[in-house]
Amino acid sequence: MRTSRGTLDNKMAREQYIVGLDIGTQNIRVVQGKVEENGRVNIIGASQVPAVGLRRGVIVDIDEAVSSISSALERVERMTGVPVQSANVAVGGNHIACVDSKGVIAVSRADGEISENDVVRVIDASQAISIPPNREVIHVIPKTFTLDGQAGIKDPLGMTGIRLEVETILIHGATPFLKNLQKAIMQAGLEIDQLVLSPLAAAASVLSKRQKELGVAIVDLGAGTTSLAVFEENNLVHTAIIPVGSMHITNDIAIGLRCTIDTAERVKLVYGQASSKMMDKLAEVDLNKIDPEETERVPQTLVGDIIEARLEEIFDMVVRELKLIDRDGKLPAGIILTGGGSSLPGVVEYAKHRFRLPVSIGVPTEMDTVIDQVVEPAFATVVGLSLWGGGHSAGGMSMPGADVFKGLWNHKFVLKLRQWVKSFMP
């Protein structure tokens, strides 16, 4: 088990360090950022180790997961020389769900002026919905307020009225999975600053404010799952976790070519294309060059057909989610692909065809670093966690009532909500 390096010296105590921890199905990634005097986050350390004890974004073996997490943390500490004591942690898995909710209150003050307490109460009221007892709310995201029938209000503080309403998105997950995640992190000697839904963290490092205003979807192609977050008018509209990822492509290749998983992964990386139409019909893949124990030679188009079939399934499931909110083909800023699976050659062209929208690859921005590794789509989520912690989310999301929580830090609910708001303040 990882052990702490001891007490920080006075200089380190004055400096602000933020750590992001992304526990994925295939890899565990950690970045450590330092908040500079100009407010920007400088990524000074990063590590990536194979994940053990996880399946489809959730922990299935705590001991193995603890070992992997500890290894990733130790590598960062050796790189930076700064002990890692706490982190913002990404949460994913297909147990995550979101639901729209509303809250309604009567304004408390006699003169009808909206106070901080009114905003807190109405957001709190939006949580009064029935969710199963084994579910836990991760985020409560205010979208818009309505005051005496006037809709579309972003920040009602100081306005005058009688009836205040709010529309929110509640994101919740299965309590057992969340508890196992928290337990593994604590056993690795780490405290949790915030749990952040993985596509929201990725969006924080990749999406600009203009994209969120126009309408955009970020699709994070992970190993075990594919995450989706849709933004419009600078608000989160919808989020979903799809239980299929790029690892399933590797499994399909292993079955189709009757080879090992390791060989299938190498075939995907070396010869893979998002569609067989992009491949030379006469080209062959000599498996013997990858694994001396293999003797087969297979058409390269067969590999393309296998990849395309699974990509089609993933993208069709994304389209299904977009249809649920009537955004299929209606996002002016298009689709931003990120995550390790987005590095597959030809995936942008194929995605444009499937989504009928502009498509591009998203990489982390709005931070400084000399580590080339972190400026890759696979690091979008973990870099977003470090930006989230510093309140420097790229193109921050406009959150209602961003200043209404001053002086209310002792209330647990308000504390969490204030932390959320700070994450999106420019």
Q: Enumerate the domain spans of the chain.
A: 97-174, 209-364
pLDDT at residue 425 above 70?
A: no
User: Rounded to an integer, what distance in angstroms lies between the CA atom of residue 392 and that of residue 413?
Assistant: 22
Distance CA 71, CA 263 (A): 26
Of the candidates 193, 224, 180, 188, the residue with the CA atom closest to the CA atom of residue 26 = 224
Give the mean pLDDT of the chain: 86
Helix (H) or strand (E) holding 373: none
How far is 220 from 406, CA to CA, in rounded Å?
Answer: 35
For residue 402, pLDDT over 60 is answered with: no
Q: Answer whether 213's CB lies under 8 Å from 91's CB.
A: no
97-174: CATH number: 3.30.1490.110
More confident site: 39 or 263: 263
Tens-digit pLDDT profile for residues 191-226: 999 999 999 999 999 999 999 999 999 999 999 999
What's the mean pLDDT in 23-40? 90
Summarised one tens digit per residue, pLDDT across range 136-189 is 999 988 989 999 999 989 889 999 999 999 999 999 999 999 999 999 999 999
230 near 201, Cβ under 8 Å?
Answer: no
Banded pLDDT at 61 (limits 50, 70, 90): very high
Buried b (16+ CB within 10 A) or exposed e, 15-36: eebbbbbbbbbbbbbbbbbbbe
CA dihedral 232, 238, 241, 244 (to 10 degrees): -60
**Domain 209-364 carries which CATH code?**
3.30.420.40
For the cut 90, the answer to whether the pLDDT of residue 365 exceeds it is: no
* pLDDT (mean) for 351-372: 91
Q: How high is the pLDDT of residue 303?
A: 94
